[in-house]
Structure 1
Amino acid sequence: MKTVILIPARYASTRYPGKPLVELTQKDGTKKSLIRMSWEVGMSVPGVDAVHVVTDDDRIREAAEGFGASVIMTSDTCENGTARCADALARAGIEADIIVNLQGDAPLTPTWFLEDLIAAMKADPDAEVATPVLQCDRMTYDMFIEDRKAGRVGGTTAVFNRNNHALYFSKEVLPYIDPGKVPTEDIPVYHHVGVYAYRPSALAAYTSWPEGQMETREGLEQLRFLENGRTMACVIVEGRGRVFWELNNPADVARIESVLKDM
């Protein structure tokens, strides 16, 4: 099955303008841009036929081409990463069985997250969309709570049923846990990993639907699939001792650099 990875990146982030070009200090003291780190993750996934950065901004295009990435320019009217992937697919005439959306703000994404996601799609031909979820360790859970107390919108949590089909995604910490009853292990909160795998038909259908009420309120593009009755599989992935976190706010730079230092 032909699989391509698309990395949507836009310069005009509401919370962090210019985010894809932010440089992060690596373990050896060198610096790499966020978009480059995300591209390197995509390029390291085995069995993928192509990896493309998809953007509407010439600054990102120039930076990406500078480190050797293939770039597909998209419309500046794409409202989110999923719409940008659909636009790139149409403009470039890409034919693929599985399209992976690796959002460009998650440089700590381990390659096995993507491998597990792709494997799950190949194993279940009826799955229209899939996304990884990672059970929170205490450090990640505490970062979620710290962000909410500080009024920052940080990562996203996922709630799913016994069949691992998504029920809801939120920028709040769900399910709620009484602060005095948070377990030290096996915390029942799952961090949504900002990666998606789509069938081409699901991606095409997405752009035909209007933005729904929950998507508007949460600012989470994946809710459009749920609001239109589509099944999204949540693929539980293992951290294997690695800390996962996206770069959502300027405060996340120090968090991610701290993790990189210990890798």
Structure 2
Amino acid sequence: MRTLIVIPARIGSTRFPAKPLHKIAGHSMVSRVAAIAQRVAAADRNVDYVIATDDEAIVQHARSIGAPVVMTNPDLPSGTDRALAAAKMADTRPDFVLNLQGDAPFTPPAHLHALIKTAATSTADVVTPVVQLDWETLDIMRDQKTREPFSGTCCIRRADGMALWFSKTIIPSIRKEAALREASGLSPVWRHIGLYGYRMQALEQFASLPVGEYEALEGLEQLRFLENGMSIMSVAVDPGATAMWGIDTPEDAAFAERLIAEHGDPMDADA
């Protein structure tokens, strides 16, 4: 299965301009994400990676760090569309495309390996990781949503892992929570991690479909697949040491530096 990891890196951001080039503990955001992809590609000869951007400064920076890069249309509406554009530009058409967010420098390489492994045996159109929250982490998420209601996404999944729905609301609602807390250290809530693997045909179909009603309401692209009868396999993974899945603001970047000081730098870690 020929796999291409695409790292969308858009220069424009309302909350965090030039985010891909922002340095965190001495390394740019995009270089940290590229290092993750490079480790995965080095471990599997069927995997390649590329940075897909809309800005010449990022092209030059990618070349300076030895990362493959392509320029894509700045008018593309989403990172998913940018991933498809990059896949179409590849010398060899991939069977499977991993969309590794350019603002997720703490993504464990093991998460990418898990999606590639699942895609090799599953018939799902899309595969994506989820983490089962312990009660403490769920409480933190609930508190965060009082201030940022559209932060964090939850997944409802079948016993076999097939995703039924995603929402920015914490789902499911939990009756008799006190008893469940006594019975287990894990809550019934699964948090979605914004890392996607698409079969190439499914990615092309996604781009041809109009924005879905619930996709627009929730602001979640993956709902377009579900609204059109396509299948998503959710893959249970460990959260990783930092449990920080994305950097959206300069404040997040400052927090990331504190995490690196506390837990060590992922750039120095083994694959």
- TM-score scaled to structure 1, two decimals? 0.88
Amino acid at match of 2:84: A
Secondary structure of the residue aligned to 1:118 is helix
C-alpha displacement at 1:242, in angstroms? 4.9
Distance 1:179 1:88, change over 3 A: farther
Amino acid at match of 1:170: S
Distance 1:91 1:148, change over 3 A: same
Matching residue of 2:64: 66
Distance 1:141 1:219, change over 3 A: same
Query: Would the aligned equivalents of 1:245 and 1:256 in 2 still touch at CA under 8 Å?
Result: no
C-alpha displacement at 1:106, in angstroms? 1.1
Distance 1:220 1:234, change over 3 A: same
Instruction: Output aligned runs, 1:165-244, within 5 Å.
Output: 165-177=162-174, 181=178, 183=181, 185-239=185-239, 241-244=241-244
- What CA distance in whole angstroms lies between the structure 1 residues aligned with 2:31 and 2:71? 17
Secondary structure of the residue aligned to 1:44 is helix
- What CA distance in whole angstroms lies between the structure 2 residues aligned with 1:82 and 1:189? 26
Structure with the largest fraction of helix: 2
Matching residue of 1:28: none
C-alpha displacement at 1:178, in angstroms? 7.7
Amino acid at match of 1:163: D
Amino acid at match of 1:36: S
1:151 and 2:148 aligned: yes
Matching residue of 1:3: 3
Structure 1 vs Structure 2 CA RMSD: 2.3
Matching residue of 2:93: 95
C-alpha displacement at 1:100, in angstroms? 0.9
1:249 and 2:249 aligned: yes
- What CA distance in whole angstroms lies between the structure 2 residues aligned with 1:156 and 1:252? 17
- TM-score scaled to structure 2, two decimals? 0.86
Gap regions ≥5 residues in structure 2: 265-271
Instruction: Output aligned runs, 1:120-139, within 5 Å.
Output: 120-124=118-122, 126-138=123-135
Query: Would the aligned equivalents of 2:108 and 2:240 in 1 still touch at CA under 8 Å?
Result: no
Query: Would the aligned equivalents of 2:21 and 2:28 in 1 still touch at CA under 8 Å?
Result: yes
Could you tell me which of 48, 51, 54 is aligned with 1:53?
A: 51
C-alpha displacement at 1:59, in angstroms? 2.3
C-alpha displacement at 1:231, in angstroms? 0.4
- What CA distance in whole angstroms lies between the structure 2 residues aligned with 1:225 and 1:247? 25
Matching residue of 1:106: 104
Amino acid at match of 2:192: H
Query: Would the aligned equivalents of 1:154 and 1:248 in 2 still touch at CA under 8 Å?
Result: no
Secondary structure of the residue aligned to 1:189 is strand
1:43 and 2:38 aligned: yes
> Could you give the per-residue CA deviations for residues 61-97 of structure 1, whole angstroms, max 9, x where no partner exists?
2222221111011111211111111111223454112
- What CA distance in whole angstroms lies between the structure 1 residues aligned with 2:15 and 2:54? 18
Secondary structure of the residue aligned to 2:188 is coil
Query: Would the aligned equivalents of 1:157 and 1:173 in 2 still touch at CA under 8 Å?
Result: yes
- What CA distance in whole angstroms lies between the structure 1 residues aligned with 2:91 and 2:106? 30
C-alpha displacement at 1:168, in angstroms? 1.8
- What CA distance in whole angstroms lies between the structure 1 residues aligned with 2:58 and 2:151? 23
- What CA distance in whole angstroms lies between the structure 2 residues aligned with 1:137 and 1:224? 29
- Quick one: percent identity of the two aligned structures? 37
- What CA distance in whole angstroms lies between the structure 2 residues aligned with 1:123 and 1:103? 24
C-alpha displacement at 1:210, in angstroms? 0.5
Distance 1:203 1:75, change over 3 A: same
C-alpha displacement at 1:239, in angstroms? 3.0
